Amino acid sequence: MRWFKENVWAAAAITLLRIYVGWQWIDAGWHKLSGGFDAGGFLKGAVGKPVADHATNAVLFPNFTYFLEHFALPNVKVINVMIPLGEFLIGLGLILGGLTLTAAFFGMMLNFMFLMAGTVSTNPWLLLLGFIVFTAGANAGRFG
């Protein structure tokens, strides 16, 4: 683990990984910023058909579903700005290497939120890569 957090070659590898993950976030954010993004339908679907246990049909993340129903949906106009802007800024932070750990942390938080809302997509992959970047600590931002 020490090698991962201090070695210059590890920093170079993490830099490539961080730029890749950053590009994925910038791309997602830019498409939403420039394409008339509306989270309303997604949020209604996440509340209407929450992630549930297939055997018991029990909602797996009731607190998150409550949050979506009672905070996110009533404030969907704010969410429509926060999600694309957040994705874009996470990507920018990762690519430029400024506030790398902060960007990786909030990227992982968004991935977890998307997963709890029922969207798999690239979220597990980006969550894993974000965790690797975050685990590298300061070495992740050594170049950039």
pLDDT tens readout for residues 27-85: 999 999 998 899 999 999 999 999 999 999 999 999 999 999 999 999 999 999 999 99
pLDDT band at residue 24 under the 50/70/90 scheme: very high
Residue 118: left if φ>0, alpha if ψ -120 to 50, beta else—which one?
Answer: left
Domain ranges of the chain: 2-141
Contacts of 54 (CB under 8 A, 6+ apart): none
Give how far the C-alpha of residue 23 lies from the chain's centroid of Cα atoms, to the nearest Å.
Answer: 12
Both tokens assigned to 139? 């070495």
pLDDT for 73-123, tens place per residue? 999 999 999 999 999 999 999 999 989 999 999 999 999 999 999 999 999
The C-alpha atoms of residue 90 and residue 88 are separated, in whole angstroms, by 5
Q: What pTM did the predictor assign?
A: 0.91
**141 confidence band (pLDDT: 50, 70, 90):** confident
